Amino acid sequence: MLFIYYFVSNLAEELPQKFGMLKRHLFATPFQKAFDSVAAGNPSTAVAIDYRYGSETVHIIPGKEAVTVIFSIGFESKGDQVCT
Residue numbers of the chain with a pLDDT score lower than 70: 1-10, 50-53, 81, 84
* pLDDT computed for residue 52 by the predictor: 59
Number of domains present in the structure of the chain: 1
What is the C-alpha separation between 8 and 32, in angstroms, rounded?
Answer: 34
* pLDDT computed for residue 9 by the predictor: 67
* pLDDT computed for residue 1 by the predictor: 52
* pLDDT computed for residue 64 by the predictor: 87
* pLDDT computed for residue 33 by the predictor: 87
The DSSP secondary structure of the chain, one letter per residue, reads -HHHHHHHHHHHHHHHHHHHHHHHHHHHHHHHHHHHHHHTT-----EEEE-TTSSEEEEEEE-SS-EEEEEEE---SHHHHHH-
* pLDDT computed for residue 44 by the predictor: 77
